[in-house]
Amino acid sequence: MLRSITLGLGLALAFSHAVTAADAQPTFEPKAYLMNYSEADLLKRVPPARPEDVSSPEAIVRAMHDAVSGPKGHWDDKRLRSLFVPDALIEFTDEGADGVPRIQSISLDELVRIFSELHAQTSWYERAVALNVVVMQRKGEKATLAVVNHMGDEGVSPAKGPEGHGPATSMTQVVKLQGRWWITSHTW
């Protein structure tokens, strides 16, 4: 019985014009992963997030900027860490000592170290004021992807008014696995 069903399905596919070689999607399995987490795995590895911080792509980006903001002195990294997957890719562009533009990557741990040292020296405030969100979901998959391009402002005092201190531009990629959004990469 199973053989006749398999043969019947094979013949139906072979004679169908709906499926062509060009329509077939290749499959692959990586031999090594940089990260491979379920949401349950991630929830064990990061501090608990505020539900309102991870409720949407816009909310998580605004929370990220709010989490790095504050007065001079001790800065608590738990809120920032609660938003990111542990192995998130953090990149920024800068010029090297030779004046040549470069793209540089750092870990979340290094970003935390930078903000800890910054807050030890001065206050620091960031705010996302203009967000453009593109949400994508591949057919048949449960995870939802989003890219958040945003402008904002940053400086040693809280911004007042819609203009703020001056433009800062960033792009953040986020993923919703089940119950919440996660930052997987951030570039400025």
CA nearest to 128, candidates 57, 173, 55, 63: 63
Answer whether residue 16 shows pLDDT above 70: no
Do 64 and 150 contact (CB within 8 A), yes or no?
Answer: no
15 or 122: which leads in pLDDT: 122
- Extract the tokens encoding 70: 């504050």
160 or 80: which leads in pLDDT: 80
Tens-place pLDDT, residues 18-39: 445 556 677 778 777 788 999 9
In this prediction the pTM is 0.80
State residue 21's pLDDT score: 54
pLDDT band at 67 (very low <50, low <70, confident <90, very high): very high
Q: Lowest-confidence range among 71-80, 134-143, 155-164? A: 155-164
Q: What is the mean pLDDT of residues 72-86?
A: 97
Answer whether residue 89 shows pLDDT above 70: yes
Answer whether residue 155 shows pLDDT above 70: yes
Tens-place pLDDT, residues 97-150: 999 999 999 999 999 999 999 999 999 999 998 899 999 988 888 889 999 999
* Residues forming beta bridges with residue 168, ordered by sequence position: 152
What share of the chain in percent tops pLDDT 70? 82
Does CATH number 2.60.40 belong to domain 40-187? Answer: no
Answer whether residue 175 shows pLDDT above 70: yes
Range 108-112, long-range pairs (CB < 8 A, 24+ positions): 108/81, 108/84, 111/80, 112/77, 112/80, 112/81
SS3 state of residue 139? coil
Please provide the size of the chain in residues: 188
CA nearest to 130, candidates 49, 40, 34, 65: 65
Answer whether residue 92 shows pLDDT above 80: yes
- Extract the tokens encoding 36: 């491979």
Q: What is the mean pLDDT of residues 1-17?
A: 40
Query: Which ranges of the chain would DSSP assign to H, the alpha helix?
Result: 2-15, 39-45, 57-67, 78-83, 108-121
pLDDT band at 70 (very low <50, low <70, confident <90, very high): very high
